[in-house]
Amino acid sequence: MRVGGPADYFVEVEDETELGAWVAWAREQATAVFLLGGGTNLVVADAGIRGLTIKLGRNFAGSRWAIAEDGARVRVGAATNFKKFVGETLDRGFTGLEFAEGIPGTIGGGVIMNAGAFGGEIGEVVEALHGVDRAGRVSRLSRDALRFSYRHLDLPRGFVVTALDIRLQRGDPDTMAERAAEARRKRGKRQPLGHPNAGSVWKNPPGDFAGRLIDRVGLRGERVGQAQISPQHGNFIVNLGGARARDVRELMWRTRDRIWAARGVWLQPEVKLVGEWGAL
């Protein structure tokens, strides 16, 4: 979104030992920890983020493949670029992530929000997660300990994901290419280009689409300051240049209140509002 203020403390870590030490330090100091991925679905408050913000460095990016006749198991670092990894799976001929063609950010951020589109979700292919718990210890969460839901993963408090174990099946190259191209075409047609944004603002309510509800109450194009509901798609808020985080949040709450009053539907944010907001 290109909005928001500074972090009190910011560190970029390159291995699990360093990560664990910082997490343990923060716990000893009673300091909050915020893990920053690619930042693609965040709205950071104008006052910034209190406590310690941690970003995983380059050593947490990349993938290791174990390929068999029927499929592959892949260990993927949480800092790996999501779009690049999807391209890698297609190049190698393994299916399961075509829906994610074009999703920005890191794969770690993708799993935290159970990223999905066009009928697919990353949670469907995850076998285990590796990371550091709130005491700073290296830990592993098996599939049966992972509770995925729509655009959400319920993790133990303070757990920092450092890598994913993913299971993929071999696929037909033509079919996979067609699915990826269709996802890319739909995104190019529906999503706004040229202005900073954080992707879909609202989760789709059961049986409907947030963008369609916003259109029905006439809010497409609505503005607060330099924040605008995209004229191209009602479920996107764009920064026209110089928007403040408070403008984005005010526009979000105005949208939610209008839809509640007109349609009786209470929208849930898909973007994450983080930092010190205070009262609106």
Q: Which residues are catalytic?
A: 151, 200, 270
- Short-list 211, 212, 252, 209, CA closest to 228: 252
The answer to whether 259 touches 248, Cβ cutoff 8 Å, is no
Cα separation, 244 vs 234, whole angstroms: 19
| Residue labelled with tokens 């928001």 | 4
Strand 7-13 to strand 126-132: parallel, antiparallel, or no bridges (unpaired)? unpaired
Other beta carbons within 10 Å of 40: 18
Handedness of CA 257, 259, 265, 268 (dihedral sign): negative
Q: Which residues of 61-97 are buried (b: 16+ CB within 10 A; e: fewer)?
A: bebeeeeeeebbebbbbbbbebeebbebbbeeebbbb
Residue 232 CB contacts under 8 Å (≥ 6 apart), including other chains: 190, 191, 192
